[in-house]
Structure 1
Amino acid sequence: MKRAIVFTGGGTAGHVTVNLALMPRFLRDGWDVHYIGSERGIERELVAGVPQATYHGIATGKLRRYMDWNNAKDPFRVVKGVWQSYRLMTAIRPSVVFSKGGFVSVPVVAGAWLNRIPSIIHESDFTPGLANKLTIPMATKVCTTFPDTAEHLPPNKAVHIGAVVREELFRGEAVRGLAMCDFVRTKPVLLVMGGSLGSQRINRAIREELDALTETFQIVHLCGKGNADPSASTRAYRQFEYVTDELPDLLAAADVVVSRAGSNSIFEFLALKKPMLLIPLPLSQSRGDQIANAESFRARGIAEVLPEETLTGETFLRAVRELYVNRARYVEAMEREPKREPLQQLYELICETARSR
């Protein structure tokens, strides 16, 4: 009988990418791979790229920190999701559950706990998010990206793994990335990413200074769904709402990167030795996790940070120029970072947990 594993995580691409890195390994080893996500979340679309995995959609609520009328209805959705997860666990009978976080993971980990199925959580950020805080008491182990995150966790559960980076990112080719954008080799490439949902503030700052930026750079702008501006396109400025399979080639072609400070993305830039300017989500839009992530990278000399509160077209232009001028310094700092094999370590921990059930 094939061993089964359930993956969960969603809400944003960052809560899915580690799962996408792990799933092919379990499929190659003959596991029956299942994914439990929300009924209409971004995770359903992303997991569709792994057709051998079986996707199950469940009801879920969003864990909000602000007043919204949906807050009154979402607890009932979560309860429904727990019941659906419980029944799925009973039917699938997985050896282990792996959770990447996000609000959809709460009912899934709860369903596993009710079935006495061990679960492993992966926390990407410097401090645990709300969904992971709720599920940590039910989890067997909690894997961390930042070593300091262990201070916020039960000592018997914390395991420092490091950042899991998708293997396909290392297979990108700059030639393909340049050809995709019709760029030349003789002018540096600036890649700007606002997260899977895009960023209106970053988009506006780029377009305000587009003429000045394109004097120095060819720009690849991942602007988010519905945020492209056809009137702004030029030979040196290419917009994409979102990319998946093309991202490794675009990263290979990039000389410097501007991004939000989601943990998965910034560790990918680190692994690829890409000098980065980070614009973390402000406290008005988040719990401050990206601010902590960015500050950790800035303190280690491997990134520059521009707070959104000071973001204008002018400050953006100045920061990008400084990043490019000092790019060699950031690459040297990234070269000094400790080398790890987190994907293999995480894979072995999951297998060991499944065997010990």
Structure 2
Amino acid sequence: MDNPRILLAAGGTGGHVYPAIAIADALREENPDSEILFVGTKNHMEWKAVPKAGYNILNVWISGFHRRFTFKNALFPVKLITSLFQSLKILSDFKPNVVVSCGGYVAGPVGWVAGKKGIPVVIQEQNSFPGVTNRLLAKFAVKIFTAFKEADQYLPKEKTQVTGNPTRSSLKDADREQALESFGFSEDKQVLLVMGGSGGAKTINEAMKANIENLHDEAGLQIIWQCGPRYYDELSTEIDEQKLENLRLLAYLDNMAEAYAVADLVISRAGASSCSELMLTGKPSILVPSPNVAGDHQTQNAKAMVNAGASKMLEDSTMKETMSELVEQLIHDQENLKRMNQAALNLAKPDAAKLIAKEILEIAKSKL
């Protein structure tokens, strides 16, 4: 095959960006001659995550539309028109054979211009309730890859294929002993990994702040707490890490593979990508669905994992009062952790990225 050119548009959160990176890795593995370019925004996480993964990224000036009137909304029409012209230039210069939308606002203008230009658009939708961008682009799509069958009711059924969410296979690569060493942890204490998604989660952080001494001192746990960049400065002044020698408070987790390698139990939001990573790595988890998402899709994601025996669920509004007891009940029960581990692995779709990459390359081939 000649060098297929694939443009990936994804932005805003790790839930959109990491599946896109997983697809890019699989594309490169399937065809090392693939020319891959990302489109994102400078003020979101993709601007660092994508180059770190080894790919080039170009900027489009776009953001979401706020429901109440703000100064940002007044700028929205200007941003939209600018982003359409930027998208046209990127598409004209790069000449992709396929454009892949993994969601986020940035995928909107890029996918729309591609559709109007007759460039094949492929969508990868992570959630049971599709995001607004992917719903808008669905009419242009030649193929839509979903993680949940429930997404079909919001998308053209004849175009959809349930593949699961693409996850980075490198998440399973870390050696546990080396990972423990890199965090400065010992083998003889259980490790709790707490994550609020790439931006952090206020409720999880407040619950952790209220329970940290109990989890650290009384339960005797080693804790990795990823609190998010916007919360880090305040929390790092409020939490005395000198006293809590087995706590690692971090704004962001660069070494996810090592964090998963050491974790005995994970507390996490129930975003589709987080759930897929927990399945892939086989990590027992406590899921706290965010109440602030469209279609309450995180609760649906969490229920699927709870029903399979891979997770337990806590309500966002009550987790401060209930988390310590549940963590202690689970993390010291080795037999139950083993059962949860196997249940998570049984749910995993480790070949999702490969399946999607193969189909994208087939579509690209028809356009070369």
Counterparts of 1:337 and 1:23, CA distance in 2:
23
Counterparts of 1:41 and 1:354, CA distance in 2:
29
| CA-CA distance at 1:66 after TM superposition | 4.7
User: What SS does the aligned partner of 2:317 have?
Assistant: helix
Selected match of 1:184 from 183, 186, 190: 186
| CA-CA distance at 1:335 after TM superposition | 4.4
| CA-CA distance at 1:200 after TM superposition | 2.2
Structure 1: runs of 5+ lacking an equivalent? none
Answer whether contact 1:144 1:160 (CA < 8 A) is retained: yes
CA RMSD of aligned residues (A): 1.9
Q: Which amino acid is the alignment partner of residue 164 of structure 1?
A: P
Counterparts of 2:21 and 2:348, CA distance in 1:
24
Aligned to 2:352: 342
Greater relative contact order, per chain length (Cα 8 Å cut-off, separation 6+): 2
User: What SS does the aligned partner of 1:274 have?
Assistant: coil
Counterparts of 2:299 and 2:69, CA distance in 1:
23
Answer whether contact 1:86 1:114 (CA < 8 A) is retained: no
Counterparts of 1:39 and 1:218, CA distance in 2:
35
Deviations 1:266-320 (A, max 9, x none): 111111111110111113x6552222221222233221111112221x3111222
Counterparts of 1:218 and 1:168, CA distance in 2:
24
Deviations 1:213-242 (A, max 9, x none): 113211111111142425431212111111
Counterparts of 2:347 and 2:355, CA distance in 1:
18
Q: Which amino acid is the alignment partner of residue 222 of structure 1?
A: Q
| CA-CA distance at 1:339 after TM superposition | 5.3
Aligned to 1:138: 140
Counterparts of 2:33 and 2:171, CA distance in 1:
24
1:224 matched to 2:228? yes
Counterparts of 2:22 and 2:348, CA distance in 1:
21
Aligned to 1:317: 324
Distance 1:66 1:266, change over 3 A: farther
1:187-202 map, 5 Å: 187-202=189-204
Aligned to 2:9: 8
1:140-155 map, 5 Å: 140-155=142-157
Distance 1:275 1:66, change over 3 A: farther
| CA-CA distance at 1:185 after TM superposition | 0.4
Determine what percentage of the aligned residue pairs are the same residue: 29
Distance 1:61 1:125, change over 3 A: same
Aligned to 2:96: 94
Selected match of 1:72 from 65, 71, 74: 74
1:28-107 map, 5 Å: 29-51=32-54, 53-107=55-109
| CA-CA distance at 1:65 after TM superposition | 4.4
| CA-CA distance at 1:336 after TM superposition | 3.9
Counterparts of 2:133 and 2:66, CA distance in 1:
10
1:308 matched to 2:316? yes
Q: Which amino acid is the alignment partner of residue 277 of structure 1?
A: I
Q: Which amino acid is the alignment partner of residue 117 of structure 1?
A: I
Counterparts of 1:247 and 1:200, CA distance in 2:
21
Aligned to 1:268: 277
Answer whether contact 2:166 2:350 (CA < 8 A) is retained: no
Q: Which amino acid is the alignment partner of residue 39 of structure 1?
A: K
Deviations 1:169-216 (A, max 9, x none): 110121122112211101110000011111222112112122221132
1:291 matched to 2:284? no
Q: Which amino acid is the alignment partner of residue 40 of structure 2?
A: G
Q: Which amino acid is the alignment partner of residue 297 of structure 1?
A: M
Counterparts of 2:53 and 2:189, CA distance in 1:
36
1:333 matched to 2:333? no
Q: Which amino acid is the alignment partner of residue 43 of structure 1?
A: E
Deviations 1:245-282 (A, max 9, x none): x2101111100000011111111111111111011111
